[in-house]
Chain A
Amino acid sequence: MSTQAQIRSTRPPTATAATGKPHIVVKNLTMAYGSFVLMREINFTVRHGDVFIIMGGSGCGKSTLLRHLIGLKEPATGEIIYDDVNFTRADPQTREQMLRRFGVLYQGGALWSSMTLAQNVGLPLGEFTDLTPSQIREIAALKLSLVGLSGFEDFYPSEISGGMQKRAGLARAMALDPEILFFDEPSAGLDPISSSLLDELILELRDSLGATVVVVTHELASIFSIGNNCVFLDADSRVQIATGDPNDLLANSHDPRVRKFLTRGKDKGEEGKSA
């Protein structure tokens, strides 16, 4: 009972669908490794409640863009704004507070290997809340049950399968009831069924937590089933070549590169074709 109360009290009730208010605004972002420019002039807006997809071919900088969004890499130029607060220029304290509103699921789960699943999920709770150890454990168990891992509290990450590690990573990402969930290639290394279950889980969490979701992926099935907004990065021209709802892009985009990607190369994207 107390656990439920804690959960409720930690976050205000939020709307369940996209409310249209900008949540993340990326302005003229240029990403570079040293003098090597990876992507130029990226501009997009993610609204509250969006499931926003970052897509593009392998090696185009999708994961790097995600690393910029979560502050692991600094932009060469441009800025990233969360809810009118400039993340790029924020001072360390503000930044740390903003980070606490993010939940990140890394490609390989990135669970802390020397801790059990319950400790993994409980660590942020222990650091940032005044909960007692037994309350933390209860909440950790609850979060693990949300991702279907009840009973695995005392397992170490190395003792469970890759799919389970990913779900445990998701439970940890949700530990502090984040406002924005970031997913780096959530379906990489998962079988089709686990991958579609994870997609459902993402939507479920978006609706129940009212969170905004940003997903890096190139899985077409996920893109069409969960995404309602996207940015498409092109490795050759090193700029973004499309934004918007992926289903709209499939129906209306004239860009041959976008069409080719969204149709698994079946549509060669004849320019002369009428849309």
Chain B
Amino acid sequence: MSQAVNIGTQGTVSFTRSETSLLIKLSGPWNLTKDVPSPAALRRELESDARLKSVSFDTSTLTHWDSGLISFLVQASATCRARNIQQDRIGLPVGLRRLLELAEAVPEKKGTRSAEVKAPFFERVGKMTIGYGLSVSDFMTFLGDLTVAFSKFVRGQARYRKVDLVEVIQECGASAVGIVTLISFLVGVILAFMGAVQLSQFGASIYVADLVCIGMTRDMGAIMTAIIMSGRTGAAFAAKLGTMKVTQEIDALTTMGISPMEFLVLPRVIALVLMMPLLCLYADFLGIGGGMFVGVGMLGLSVRNYLQETIATLTLTNLFGGLFKATFYGLLIAIAGCLRGFQCGNSSSAVGDAATQAVVMSIVMGVVACGLFAVVFNVIGI
């Protein structure tokens, strides 16, 4: 009784059965990069007859072998062991025999493979809830540490390098001007277009100036700057601190007796809190400029009229409300970035995750805060 499993021009395996033994004939080139026969046929053969007591190998026509054949034989020998079938490896090439012995030298350590047990629904819900609870408590701890560090800063006892502070200020202030210019100008243009479509139907195009002015100063300037800064600076904070964590630079600070909270987080928070209102103010003006570009260029308003209408609408309450919001968003972004950086795991992919999470967290917190501000400002009548 003989049958062959042939895979194109590649290695083949064939079986010859006698009463209680099986001769496995391996021939041709067994090359991993090509296709090698699946061990399933061999397993079927081994399992087909309970009387089978031993297997032997014939490799006289085997021309080439590599890991593909070893893997095939390791699986075959696992089946043999499970069914108490003797293996006679005399027929195998010496190198192959040694590699097989090496692969089987250290038995698999039980319990190292993670069991694919799916936890029950309620267990998973419970674990996630506890996880969220812990992340809230982490956040609170971080906030507390930051407050302590800030009070030290106010008393002039915080340990940080002034040059670091200046560097971060430049990084999240001056260097961000370009992108803030582009985005806020375009936001002004978009706001003006949205208003113009409706307002020009009533011949009230001039109110585009009011719309843009109030929209930019009250909310859009602050929230758009916040979104830009979360993507730009929040991610950078998380990546920088995450990398420092991976390379143990943060540990090195801690064991020097220098608090990373004062040395790394404080300058970043201060810099962003200082720079956000400035960027927001700049964004407000650029947005109004964008609105004017549409008003003058497309709606036929004169520059003088547009500016007059804008100045008449512009209130300090709206302007400072927007700046206050921007400052608060700045605080949120800096905290999210630094917190995620500190929580970073110990690998390069963890740094990427930290940056992503920082951006997500700061945008979510920013938008939620924006919504809350809208309600609160409305209630207190600002």
Contact = CB atoms under 8 A, between A and B. Distances in A.
Contacts of A100: 256-257
Nearest to A182: B255
A100 B253 CA distance: 11
Contacts of B253: 112
Nearest to A106: B248
B175 interface: no
A111 B257 CA distance: 15
A149 interface: no
A96 B257 contact: yes
Interface string B254-283: 111110000000000000000000000000
A168 to B, nearest CB: 12
Contacts, number: 53
A106 B256 contact: no
Interface in B146-160: 159
Given A106-B248, A107-B248, A108-B248, A127 B159 contact: yes
Contact of B257 (A72, A107, A128): A128
A97 B255 CA distance: 10
B258 A124 contact: yes
A72 B258 contact: no
The residue among B243, B244, B252 with the most chain A CB atoms within 10 A of its own CB is B252
B247 A124 contact: no
Nearest to A120: B252
Given A113-B247, A124-B258, A106 B159 contact: no
Nearest to B246: A108
Contacts of A112: 244, 249, 252-253
A76 interface: no
B278 to A, nearest CB: 24
The residue among A70, A102, A123 with the most chain B CB atoms within 10 A of its own CB is A123
Contacts of B243: 113
15 contacts: A67-B251, A71-B255, A72-B254, A99-B254, A99-B255, A100-B257, A104-B252, A110-B251, A111-B252, A112-B252, A113-B244, A113-B247, A113-B249, A124-B256, A124-B258
Given A72-B254, A113-B244, A123-B161, 15 more contacts: A70-B255, A71-B255, A72-B255, A97-B257, A106-B251, A108-B248, A110-B247, A110-B249, A111-B252, A112-B244, A113-B249, A124-B256, A127-B159, A127-B256, A127-B258
**8 tightest CB-CB pairs across the interface, nearest first?**
A110-B248, A99-B257, A110-B252, A106-B248, A100-B257, A96-B257, A104-B255, A70-B255
